[in-house]
Chain A
């Protein structure tokens, strides 16, 4: 952390991380009470990755997410109210209650979609980058995926195709060391994920995914490379999910699939990305802790408003169940501008 940042920028990062965490923690109780019925893969603990990466992007840049994308959606500027309404399966949700937590989209903000098919959006992101390369312009595309997705062949096909066509895409692997219930050592013979990009001559590196400024700096270099036509770039972010694979805690929800050692969890909780950043801000940057407390308070109010919005929103109407199977026209929308 040797670069100089202005306080507005730093507090912006802090606010984004707190917004993500507060959203995630606010839906724990509704999940347990059954008010939220669809699967939610909470992002708590991984906030520094989405926040650091998206801080390097313009609104016209694209990102594609995965099953654990609440953080990506918020960090790219998606509406918290619409996300909450979607999680509660309401008509006012970003996907009108047809998608739920695992299908978040806000094309006007460049959040192009998220899906729970492992590695499912990697090739889509490559295609969006291909569109930039055909049409010109300097849009960069980021695909977020987990360590589990490195088991899918399409990732390697995508790396080769992106490298072959020098596409402006950053492959961001959030390595939280577990693919659902399986530790990485049970899935891979070699654990240095960043090295998988090397045979494709793709620039690659590994970063502490709980250090938001380290992520930001690594992502800024990657995005800059892509803008200058030197893409693609691969970036492995080491991080840890603080909650279950799905829902608040796989064990208390009855699945008993969280086999992570207590000491390991404790160790990572001590490296909480938000706490780490708070320490940095109040230490090195001499920012008054009351400023951070104010942000947390404001965010809390925003989260509560998002819940109210969701709860007061109607459900989709049963008569509309077959709506949206086919489009009647093309959505030229905001996605056209580069």
Chain B
């Protein structure tokens, strides 16, 4: 099959959707600048023109609101925020308006808009160019949040997000952009709220999403080589969660580690853990563990970045710990955070 990198898979989804549906348009800061959105917008302006590929002034609030208003008027906008941090200026149109619109209007009008945010961490960019804010959006009723980890999902989830009749927050991670993999040339959807079991196993369920799913797959390989059978699930959609896939796996393995690139407290990983504890408690053989960012803003210095972002070793260690857990043996560090 044809190989395509993650960012060009997004690009292909945009080309195909804009070609197929004249209601689709792209708006946001830097859509004609590779500096902002890499090659994800390549060729769109030339092909579809300035009316449908709108490089917007730095007015996140109004521009995001305009995308919401265009959706209310019947179009299918994609509004891009090249640094997810910038979306904070647009929380009113995203949360107060788009997320609530269908409900507060009694199901009389919907808002088919895609809020596309890019997690831009790494590269010593510090606290305001690195934030992974999926936990914020996943908390909000009325929003769907998707976070593809593979080029295949990057394309299929963008197409599904644009076609969805609801506001969808589409989040991609800069660290994934150059990954290459098989991507069909045809137009296809990856179903929102459907997880992918990347590796089947029987000892422990390892749940992850976005760039951490990529890391978790490497950790699962390493663990399997040492005899621990890991079932690795890439949730792909942060909200609504694919509870069936998650719970079925946890009930089978009896152990759960959740690896997430967001912060620890009140975060996405916490929700996955809570669901497992509520609905599969009697199947658990060991305490659940989380691998997350610490409750700390992103640093600049590369030395601190290395300490900040968890890699395969953090996941491997967490899995080994719960595999070693015995209910008869009190472990002094069973309460330690990482």
- B7 close to A (CB within 8 Å): no
Chain A nearest CB from B94 CB (Å) reads 11
Contacting residue for A117 out of B59, B96, B108, CB 8 A? B96
Contacting residue for A125 out of B61, B69, B142, CB 8 A? B69
Stretch at the interface among B71-79, B195-203, B217-225: B71-79
Chain A nearest CB from B218 CB (Å) reads 35
Q: With the chains together, A94 CA to B52 CA distance in Å?
A: 33
- B13 close to A (CB within 8 Å): no
Q: With the chains together, A330 CA to B101 CA distance in Å?
A: 13
Q: Are B102 and A123 interface neighbours, CB within 8 A?
A: no
Chain B nearest CB from A302 CB (Å) reads 23
Residues of B close to A157: CB separation below 8 A? 57, 59, 61-63
Q: How many residues of A contact B (CB 8 A)?
A: 53
- B68 close to A (CB within 8 Å): yes
Q: Are A325 and B63 interface neighbours, CB within 8 A?
A: no
Residues of B close to A161: CB separation below 8 A? 56-57, 59, 62-63, 66
Chain A nearest CB from B93 CB (Å) reads 6
Q: Are B51 and A133 interface neighbours, CB within 8 A?
A: yes
Give the residues from 90 to 129 in chain B that come closer than 8 angstroms, CB to CB, to chain A.
92-93, 96-97, 101-110, 112
Q: How many residues of B contact A (CB 8 A)?
A: 44
Q: Are A327 and B62 interface neighbours, CB within 8 A?
A: no
Chain A nearest CB from B327 CB (Å) reads 38
Residues of A close to B92: CB separation below 8 A? 117, 120, 154
B107 (CB) vs chain A CBs: closest residue: A324
Give the residues from 73 to 126 in chain A that come closer than 8 angstroms, CB to CB, to chain B.
93-99, 103, 105, 107, 112-113, 115, 117, 120-126
Q: With the chains together, A161 CA to B61 CA distance in Å?
A: 11
- A255 close to B (CB within 8 Å): no
- B11 close to A (CB within 8 Å): no
Given contacts A94-B106, A154-B62, contact A127 B69 (CB under 8 A): yes
Q: Are B105 and A123 interface neighbours, CB within 8 A?
A: no
Q: Are B102 and A327 interface neighbours, CB within 8 A?
A: yes
Q: Are A153 and B141 interface neighbours, CB within 8 A?
A: no
Q: With the chains together, A22 CA to B110 CA distance in Å?
A: 32
Chain A nearest CB from B229 CB (Å) reads 36
Q: How many A-B residue pairs have CB under 8 A?
A: 162
Q: With the chains together, A127 CA to B93 CA distance in Å?
A: 11
Residues of B close to A9: CB separation below 8 A? none
Contacting residue for B75 out of A98, A121, A134, A331, CB 8 A? A134
Q: Are A130 and B102 interface neighbours, CB within 8 A?
A: no
Chain A nearest CB from B52 CB (Å) reads 6
Q: Are A131 and B75 interface neighbours, CB within 8 A?
A: yes
- A135 close to B (CB within 8 Å): yes
Contacting residue for B65 out of A95, A127, A332, CB 8 A? A127
- B241 close to A (CB within 8 Å): no
Given contacts A62-B73, A117-B92, A161-B66, contact A325 B109 (CB under 8 A): no
Q: With the chains together, A160 CA to B142 CA distance in Å?
A: 30
- A158 close to B (CB within 8 Å): yes
- B64 close to A (CB within 8 Å): yes
Chain A nearest CB from B67 CB (Å) reads 6
Given contacts A122-B65, A326-B166, contact A95 B106 (CB under 8 A): yes
Residues of B close to A256: CB separation below 8 A? none
Residues of B close to A125: CB separation below 8 A? 69
Q: Are A115 and B59 interface neighbours, CB within 8 A?
A: no
Task: Name, among A122, A132, A134, the residue most crowded by chain B CB atoms within 10 Å (CB to CB).
Answer: A134
Given contacts A117-B97, A120-B96, contact A127 B102 (CB under 8 A): no
**11 pairs, CB–CB < 8 Å, chain A vs chain B:** A95-B106, A97-B106, A98-B107, A115-B96, A124-B69, A127-B77, A128-B72, A325-B102, A326-B144, A327-B110, A336-B74
Supplied contacts A95-B105, A158-B62, 6 more A-B pairs, CB within 8 Å = A96-B108, A98-B107, A107-B108, A126-B69, A127-B69, A130-B70
Of all A-B residue pairs in the complex, the 5 with the closest CB atoms, nearest first, are A127-B69, A123-B65, A96-B106, A157-B62, A124-B69
